[in-house]
Chain A
Amino acid sequence: MADLHFTDATATSGEVEAVNLVLGDNVAVTTETERLVRGGTSRRKGLRHLLLPALHALQKESGWISPGGLNHVSEMLQVPPAEAYGVASFYEMFRVDEAPGHDDDVAHVCVDPSCRIDGADELIASLEAEGKHVHRSPCLGQCERPPAVFIQGRRKADSVPADEEPFTLPQAGDPSLSLLKRIGVVDPMSLDSYREHGGYDALTKALDMGADAVLDELVASGLSGRGGAAFPTGFKWRSVRDAEGNDKHIVANCDESEPGTFKDRHLMEHDPFALVESMTIAAVTTGATNGWIYIRGEYPLATGRLENAIAQARDAGLLGDDVAGSGHAFHLEVRRGAGAYICGEETALFASLEGFRGEPRNKPPYPTTNGLFDQPTAINNPETLLNVLPILLGGADAYRALGTEGSPGTRLFCLSGRVANPGLYEHGFGATLGEIIDAAGGAQGDIAAVLLGGAAGSFVTADSLDLPLTLEATREAGTTLGSGVVVVFNSDDNMVDVCERITEFFKNESCGQCVPCRVGAVRQHEMIVTLGTKPMAQEQRDLHEDMVQVMADASICGLGHTAASAIKSALALGIIGADSQ
């Protein structure tokens, strides 16, 4: 036995079976010889990326991460138990205490803005009255159908009740759709159906063009990341192609967790092959042989459909050692997150996937050279990746015909809250906020505020309805498109409550690593709770401004940088804290 120390707690036979089913043959060699040959960190890192899947297996089997179960996982993977516990205790979906009812299914009910103003409290009360085990959850990515519920099954599959309802896309049949044209049309479970709708034509074309031409086309298209940071995709891929090293990675960031965002869920659920194809194009273009889809744990339908798509693509020779006969190898697998908003931050996502706590790393170095497993990595979200398909098929010029000079192409918008037809919409960049709300059937009641870009974005008022939704115009207006979130509130909505919840969200979701975010998020929450409906004194405004500045200047990652921006806008616009309230 190797040199790790374990307590006396032992795993149940069910726990051992569940964990071993996930690990398969991937168990650490723990003989003394091996220990002497490869000591310390190098030995531990080999299998550590299986820690998260193993913890999922334990949670499902026992309803919590038991000491015995943790010991078994730690021993099989040779991860120190204290570190494994540190990882388990990081995630919303893992329980590390044996609380009453731990052996029930858990109903996660969303309490973030769109659900909060539309029945979350009532649903929680009724579920609790039925004796259900309820967990108040951050945004579940179902904002168009509030209040959102996700059932974490005990010894059975996780599920989302709303997935049983028939699906409709508000813009179904609109011939101008580019990213959404197959949604609701193609059979998401069939590769044949995907091919009948143009699937894999783009990969064929990419292989014909060659990597350099693909990169030139992407750069010419002006495509930029759709997660909020808007980094040019072509440059990112070229950096990975140019990076030293033979082991490179393509990661799809499917940890969509920004409150108000549900676009990538739609893409993955209804057009999963498109994500697989676009990742394959990224692989043959950058020279990456490893692909990872890191999807949030609360998306069971999308997870299943992606796993099916990967299996079918592999069977058809479109993944594996020789992609479509090109000689390129590309191996793709799905990994589930376990409930942590921070894991949508790219370096935190890497840490999580590697089996560590989802704590961001300081940049530089950047993922293109030092990404997953410290190797060159291109990480993009599904919306960004899916844009590659029309760019290659239609060419950069056609792509640029939509949108503006600074923001070419189309953009997905997640409409929720007080609009007549909430849902996912695709518009050319440059449509105004008012036009986008009108396209969703218009606002219900008087618009009191619109949350643009998510909880990490900012509020605007009805005065901004003429704002063109482009990267450049929103930047100039001091706001952001973020992940395409548009949550509309009317004058009946309790904005104090909404703002309190936004501060609570960041308090709960800060990873806790750096001081500005860990403490700043708590102090902001305390400040807004104390404020309530009162006018805010100048001294408190100054203090909030001080907090905004240190969080934006000195936090490690984007979560801390933006955790005070929505409240800053709410105070500036008089949505809360105004004298006249």
Chain B
Amino acid sequence: MTNTMNSPETEVAVSISVDGQAVSVPEGSTILDACTAAGIDTPTICYGPNLTPVNACRVCVVELEGSRTLVPSCSREVEPDMVVQTDSDRVKHSRKMVLEFLGSGVDLSQADDLNAWSEHYGADPNRYGPDAETMNEPVKIEDDLYIRDYDKCVLCYKCVSACGDDAQHTFAISMTGRGFGARIATEFDGVLPDSACVYCGNCVAVCPTNALQFKTEFDLRQAANWRPEDQSVTTTICSYCGVGCNLELHTQDERIVKVTSPDDHSVTWGNLCIKGRFGWQYVHGDSDGD
């Protein structure tokens, strides 16, 4: 889990150099933390503030003096006197290629952050031609709460971590298969309602590409009526029990379209249960819950 949850009583500072700039961060911080402290924006995909780093996407790599290969900044802890480059040709090349590779095989049409970075680094997924193999997965619609569109999946493991050790401890999904055929799935790729899923939606909350999305959002998008610019977010506290989870109600046309919780909230760390995440239909007063 995050180091923000257990900040040590006495912090030992470690100094490193990032792009020629001296940066001092607490011991146990990552290079990514140091970059952030230095005001350097770093692209990330599989990194989540409340998730154990899996360093799988490799888009956050940096050049570390003395290291033969580039190193993932999200998981590599700082050591005294490290010399890090975040904008060298090698770093820019790898970041560009990771984004380009993903763009060539995955539907990133709803991954705004990634697309901004792709543009920044000049990634051109079309270099691999029209016949490049893609994820090629149909949308899985198995219930009224959320959908799984694995055509958009970048296999970042965040949903697996959130379902497992890092948050929910439900273990309904896993990485399955191998290589380019790897997919997130329940056992034997069964449907969610038959699986261990408890519909907390914490996987949806961490998905970076909208491969997992609220059914409400999916339906509005299908109807060409998803209008983020017309949405507002209202923060409130969940009324179901005494835990006191913060809810962010995303509304459009005065109807709730999805619910999130702040990543930095000391009660939820972004997580909710089925009630807070999906149990808001009564607000609309519709007798059938639609």
Please report A residues at the B interface, Cβ cutoff 8 Å. 4-5, 7, 39-41, 67, 70, 80-86, 89-90, 96, 340, 357, 359, 362, 507-516, 518-523, 526, 530, 543, 546-547, 549-550, 552-556, 561
Give chain A residues whose Cβ lies under 8 Å from the Cβ of B171. Answer: 4, 80, 82-83
A85 touches B174 (CB 8 A): yes
Give B180-211 interface residues, CB cut-off 8 Å to A.
180-182, 185-188, 190, 194-196
Give chain B residues whose Cβ lies under 8 Å from the Cβ of A83. Answer: 164, 171, 174
Closest B residue to A549 using CB positions: B93
A552 touches B69 (CB 8 A): yes
Give chain A residues whose Cβ lies under 8 Å from the Cβ of B58. Answer: 514-516, 554-556
Please report B residues at the A interface, Cβ cutoff 8 Å. 54-59, 61, 69-70, 72, 75-76, 90, 93-94, 97-98, 101-102, 104-105, 127-129, 131-133, 154-155, 164-165, 169-182, 185-188, 190, 194-196
Closest A residue to B94 using CB positions: A554
Closest A residue to B163 using CB positions: A82
**Residue from B102, B175, B185 within 8 A of A512 (CB atoms):** B175
B93 touches A519 (CB 8 A): no
Give chain A residues whose Cβ lies under 8 Å from the Cβ of B172. Answer: 5, 80, 82
**Residue from B61, B98, B177, B195 within 8 A of A82 (CB atoms):** B195
A7 touches B93 (CB 8 A): no
Q: How far is the CA of A81 from the CA of B72 in the complex (A)?
A: 31
Classify the secondary structure of B's interface with A: loop
B178 touches A90 (CB 8 A): yes
Q: How far is the CA of A67 from the CA of B70 in the complex (A)?
A: 41
B69 touches A553 (CB 8 A): yes
A510 touches B178 (CB 8 A): yes
Closest A residue to B69 using CB positions: A553
Closest B residue to A8 using CB positions: B194
Give chain A residues whose Cβ lies under 8 Å from the Cβ of B174. Answer: 80, 82-83, 85-86
Q: Can you list 12 pairs linking A and B with CB atoms under 8 Å apart?
A: A7-B187, A40-B165, A41-B165, A362-B76, A512-B180, A512-B181, A513-B54, A519-B101, A520-B97, A522-B105, A523-B128, A554-B94
Closest B residue to A91 using CB positions: B178
Q: How far is the CA of A248 from the CA of B279 in the complex (A)?
A: 50
B176 touches A85 (CB 8 A): yes
Closest A residue to B98 using CB positions: A515
Give chain A residues whose Cβ lies under 8 Å from the Cβ of B170. Answer: 5
CB distance from A263 to the nearest CB of B (A): 26
A520 touches B101 (CB 8 A): yes
Q: How far is the CA of A555 from the CA of B188 in the complex (A)?
A: 29
A511 touches B187 (CB 8 A): no
**Residue from B55, B104, B180 within 8 A of A556 (CB atoms):** B55
Give chain A residues whose Cβ lies under 8 Å from the Cβ of B196. Answer: 4-5, 80-82
A521 touches B179 (CB 8 A): yes
| Seed contacts A4-B171, A81-B196, A523-B104; 6 additional CB < 8 Å A-B pairs | A41-B165, A82-B172, A96-B188, A508-B178, A526-B128, A555-B69
**Residue from B69, B104, B176 within 8 A of A519 (CB atoms):** B104
Q: How far is the CA of A513 from the CA of B53 in the complex (A)?
A: 13
